[in-house]
Amino acid sequence: MIVNPKRIIAICSLLFFLLLAVILASLSLGAAKVGGAQVLRVLIHGATYSGSPVGPEGLIILSVRLPRILLAGLVGAALAIAGCSFQALLRNPLADPYILGVSSGSALGAVSAILVGLSTTSFGMPLASFCGAIVTVMLVFHVGKVGRGLHTNTLLLAGVIISAFFSAIIMFLISVAQNEELPKIVFWLMGDFSFSNYHFILIILPYIVGGIGVLYSYARGFNLMVMGEETAIQLGIDVERLKKVAYIFASLITAAAVSVCGLIGFVGLIIPHAVRMLFGPDHRLLIPASGLVGASFLICSDTIARTIAAPTELPVGVVTATFGAPFFIYLLKRRRV
């Protein structure tokens, strides 16, 4: 079903206001309760109000919760849009952002950084994670090429094989790790926003925003791609270029996302599914709607992770899996994917 521009704008506007409501609610929740009026006052007037400090509540909102919420929203949008793109590229509704090995490469980089002591620096682990993911992307791309083209089945197999190989290396590294290093590794492998700050947001923002912009420019190509490569070629789409661009930029935004928070499952798998069920398969709407819903979902999941057992925090991946697995089973039963 092809949707008109007015409907795209209307639905995305509604989802954007829903995202704002989720952000405001998340800012007021935590170990230290902050009223909604106080949250709005701090956001509007900044760190001071009428020339006087807003107190500890203002510092909690601006320095602790806001960067964490913004980073969770950015990562949620990136993973959802990457999943949407991979599902179109592979013509497989079960595809997710990690299916081509980006997660294993990123995890190997992060685990290696923890073991050699780079996790004590602010950018050591994210940088190692990002480099590991990019190396994996290049390796899978090289192995998955058939002649001058990019065969999706070969690409998928290359990603699965390399992911399995890197996972074996990670298991070996975990088995020889010191006891004090294991909690860091486990939390990273299950997703963790506890170290969020504005610097991380500024670092990954250009990659994610730029990558999403490129992927959205190919929305029409994705619509034709899901109908089959031959159909897309007959209708004037450069399929080989589309596959390369989709793979590279979807992997890039995934690498940027996981480099700052670790591996968070189900966001890129169930969110595009849910949005497709609600609003149809047109990628001109599916891509931005998936991003907005993915951002809201991950902010809600992280809010639950840091409040349900406060002051102890759960890995956010535990929460996304708790909600994601039953929902995905429901989708399988309903749609017979």
CB 54 within 8 A of CB 48: yes
Confidence bin at 100 (pLDDT 50/70/90)? confident
**pLDDT of 222 above 60:** yes
Rounded Cα distance, 23 and 39, in Å: 10
Q: What was the pLDDT predicted at 50?
A: 46
Alpha helices in the chain (DSSP H): 5-28, 36-45, 56-59, 66-90, 102-116, 124-144, 152-175, 182-190, 198-217, 219-225, 229-234, 239-261, 267-279, 283-307, 316-335
Q: What was the pLDDT predicted at 76?
A: 95
Rounded Cα distance, 243 and 246, in Å: 5
Task: Count how many domains the chain has.
Answer: 1
SS3 category, 184: helix
- Specify which of 114-128, 143-157, 252-266 reaches the highest per-range mean pLDDT: 252-266
**pLDDT of 119 above 70:** no
Q: What was the pLDDT predicted at 140?
A: 85
Domain span including residue 86: 5-335
SS3 category, 313: coil
SS3 category, 280: coil
What CATH number is associated with residue 283? 1.10.3470.10
